[in-house]
Amino acid sequence: MLELIDKGTLIVLMCAGCICFGLITLLGRGWRDQSIRCWGLGYLLAGVGLTMYVLRGLIPDWISIQVANSLMLLGIGMMLNALITHTQQRQFRSVLIAWLIISIVGFNLISLPPVDSVRLSRTLFISIVVAFSQGFAIVILLRSSIRRSTLTHVLISTHAMLMTVFAVRAVYLVWAWLDWGYFPVNARVPEVGSVVFFLVVLSFVFLQAPSYMLIRKEEADRRMVRAETKLTEQLAERELEQRFYESRLLAERAETIEHFARGIAHDGNNVIGVLQLGMGQLRERVARGQKPSKAALDLMETGLARARTINSGLIALSGTSKPAIKPVCIATVVDEVGAMLTFSVPEAVRVTTHATPGLYADSHHPFLVTALLNLGRNGAEAMGSHGGRLHIAAELVDEIPHGDKQIGTVVKGPLIDITVTDEGPGIVAADFARVFDPMVTTKAETEGHGYGLYMVRAVTERIGAALVIQTSEHTGTVVHFLLAQGDGNDPATRRA
């Protein structure tokens, strides 16, 4: 057997295997993991130290003995640090540092010249510290809270076998010292025992190296499975949330359509009522052989104007592009809005108008009428059955007035200020921030649809106007609808 395998061959195999395993570990993707990096570096250092030991006689003794064994001990320390990092037991790091200092410093003190006179002392010291390191590794693994798999038990077993082998070797050396009374210079462990020792060490070192890597892979696989499971659960939750959101969105859309349709139907019924009233008067006069009255025709014209206003409001809500802007006679608009409000507001509300003659604004006539009509109707409904005065006026101003709320801005001046003033209770502070939002109404559900003031806001933004609201519980509400002055037929009314 000694002719086929000797101690030197086994050491060469061990150093080659350690270097190759260390390089493979460090060159792979695992180097990003600190524990794997320490494990691979430990094997690489141990392999380099063994290589120096094999080259004894070809290199100086202090390199092949002191440096070589120091590198091997440092490599074992790196492997122990890998286990500490893996098990997250930092309390053992101070023990590791103490072991490293005692091992490396102690070995180098024992190895002081003459070198050959302390050969067995070096061997005994190395055997003791390595046996302690393997026992220390077992303690680290057993104290860990990480779930132990079959591979973990295999790794613990390799450490236990290496600890036993080195402990037996240390006991044998102590026995030899007690038997001889001293360490003879030329005393050596029998060659057969050395071969068996290095063969066992080689076997368990080569079994230990991949065991730890497989444990790390096993844990990585478990983490991946947990991550995939969690991701699947999150996707399922998101899918449920998406379904809930879609169903809620559909319900809100249906509610919005119902709400909007109810409002349009309400306005449409008002228009139909006016037209039916006018048509009834015409039929009655025709049946009597009388001529159609101007009052009936004016009433029907008011209904048609109201229908056009509703249509303009819908167009204002249906897009965001700026409409065609051109000079609009403000007096005509104020009179038109006043006439329509007179026929549509409660009898207790008195509508008055006043506009400075010759005012023209750069605006869109249907949109402007829609906005002012909605503001007027909102003020009249605020006064309710108690009644009061609803006044619409227009004048030229130099700057935007101050108010409680402003929507939009007009950067071009001078300005035309169209005011809609009511004598109602004013806007409550709690409703003030959202009265211009869609589907917001302070009236009963059957009386308001919440799109009137929203139409006003949409018109304001689309035609480049501005709104300033002044409200008080004692004096009612004043809404300033501000427009840039435009070119009209009467240039004398324009300020420089």
- Mention every residue, 6+ apart, whose C-beta is less than 8 A from residue 444: none
Closest to 330 measured CA to CA, from 436, 171, 481: 481
> What's the pLDDT at 489?
44
The average confidence (pLDDT) of the chain is 80
Q: Given a cut of 60, is residue 490 above it in pLDDT?
A: no
CA angle 215, 216, 219 (to 5 degrees): 85
* Helices (H), ranges, 288-364: 294-317, 330-344
pLDDT of 144-184, one tens digit each? Answer: 888 888 888 999 999 999 999 999 888 887 877 776 554 44
| HSE value, Cβ hemisphere, 13 Å, CA-based, for 155 | 22
Are 104 and 70 a contacting pair, CB within 8 Å?
A: yes
pLDDT of 230-269, one tens digit each? Answer: 999 999 998 888 888 888 777 766 665 565 566 566 566 6
Are 361 and 486 a contacting pair, CB within 8 Å?
A: yes
Closest to 65 measured CA to CA, from 133, 18, 114, 23: 114
How does DSSP assign 271-285, residue by residue? Answer: HHHHHHHHHHHHHHH
The Cβ of residue 310 has, within 10 Å, a number of other Cβ atoms equal to 20
Average pLDDT over residues 385-413: 83
pLDDT of 179-229, one tens digit each? Answer: 655 444 444 445 566 777 888 888 888 888 888 888 888 888 888 898 999
Say what percent of the chain tops pLDDT 90.
19
Q: How distant, in Å, are the alpha carbons of 11, 134, 356 from that of 172?
A: 21, 18, 121
Average pLDDT over residues 459-488: 84
Are 342 and 437 a contacting pair, CB within 8 Å?
A: no
> What's the pLDDT at 29?
65
> What's the pLDDT at 267?
64
| HSE value, Cβ hemisphere, 13 Å, CA-based, for 293 | 14
> What's the pLDDT at 102?
92
pTM above 0.85, yes or no: no
Give the residue with greater pLDDT, 181 vs 276.
276
| HSE value, Cβ hemisphere, 13 Å, CA-based, for 331 | 10
Q: Which of 7-21, 332-346, 385-399, 401-415 has the lowest mean pLDDT?
A: 401-415
Reported residue count of the chain is: 496
> What's the pLDDT at 132?
94
CA angle 7, 11, 12 (to 5 degrees): 115
Q: Using CA atoms, how far apart are residues 375 and 433, in angstroms rounded to an integer?
A: 17
Task: Determine phi and psi for 390, rounding to 5 degrees.
Answer: -110, 110
